[in-house]
Amino acid sequence: DIQMTQSPSSLSASVGDRVTITCRASQSISNYLNWYQQKPGKAPNLLIYTASSLQSGVPSRFSGGGSGTDFSLTISSLQPEDFATYYCQQSYTTPWTFGQGTKVEVK
Amino acid sequence: EVQLVQSGAEVKKPGESLRISCKGSGYTFTNFWVTWVRQLPGKGLEWMGRIDPSDSYTNYSPSFHGHVTLSIDKSINTAYLQWSSLQASDTAIYYCARDKRVGVVNSFDPWGQGTLVIVSS
């Protein structure tokens, strides 16, 4: 199985901050990488697909980058509704696998 | 509106069987795989497997293969996840999601609201 490792596991930030989360794959996955946001008590929601494509309806402050083994999710200016847990997920080969999650908390 | 609606929470005893459901609407159900994801209490997301509604072809994660069964009733646009013998360690929230392919990359959108399964004696 491809292992996905996110860092950090959690971070504290303030509204307006620029936040970057990284995701590393245990082998090259080209751009077969998606990002999801999950708020407490809710289902995950797709933010970014194919590493850098913004899902329809997702604010433009979210952006994704990277290829191969190293990827990033950036929130350019953190908003109150962005405090949540973020997961990367590879779809290069089954079993599809997720990172362990990064919790973005209020500083 | 494309949506997946899951069945309600369940409380079962160890050894009991269970089937939960996921009904798709707002799209052609047979055109997209349905994927299932487990979330243990307070933990991350684990992909369990997926099923092609057009022909019921399945693709399981090795971690779940043999412990759960995925099935489809395409006449009512519904996918199922079932257990023949539950264990306490199956206590979790289970999500279904439309497994869509854009180009060569699969992603999950949208997701069902989740079904909480509690297994306790």
Whole-number pLDDT of residue A67: 97
Taking CB atoms and an 8 Å limit, are A89 and B111 in contact across chains?
no
* B63 inside 8 A of chain A by CB: yes
CA distance A92 to B106: 8
Angle, CA of A71, A72 and A76, to the nearest 5°: 160
Of A83, A89, A92, give the one whose Cα is nearest residue A101.
A89
Q: Does the CB of A31 have a partner CB in chain B at under 8 Å?
A: yes
pLDDT for position B35: 98
Give the confidence band of B102 by pLDDT, cuts at 50, 70, 90: confident
| Averaged confidence pLDDT in chain B | 97
- In angstroms, rounded to a whole number, what is the distance separating the alpha carbons of residues B103 and B49? 21
Confidence (pLDDT) at B59 = 97
Q: How much is the pLDDT for A102?
A: 98
pLDDT for B107 equals 97
How confident is the model over B40-62, as pLDDT tens digits? 999 999 999 999 999 999 999 99
Residue B39: closest CA among chain A residues belongs to which residue?
A43
* pLDDT tens profile B21-45: 999 999 999 999 999 999 999 999 9
Task: Grade residue B104 by pLDDT with cuts at 50, 70 and 90.
Answer: confident
Nearest by CB to A43, which of B49, B107, B111?
B111
CB contact under 8 A, A32 and B105: yes
Q: CB-based contact (8 Å) between A67 and chain B?
A: no
Distance CA A100, CA B99 (A): 20
Q: Which of A33, A50, A87 sits opposite B44 (nearest CB)?
A: A87
Cβ contact B47–A34 (<8 Å):
no
Torsion of the alpha carbons at A12, A13, A15 and A19, rounded to the nearest 10: -130
Mean pLDDT, consecutive 10-residue segments, chain A of 107 residues? 98 97 98 97 97 97 98 97 97 97 95
Residue B117, pLDDT > 90, answer yes
| Closest among A100, A7, A89, A24 to A50, alpha carbons compared | A89
CA dist B100 to A35, B34, B40, B103, B114, Å?
14, 9, 24, 10, 18
Best probe of the B interface among A2, A4, A96, by most B CBs < 10 A, is: A96
Contact residues, B window 96-115, toward A, CB-based 8 Å cutoff? 97, 102-114
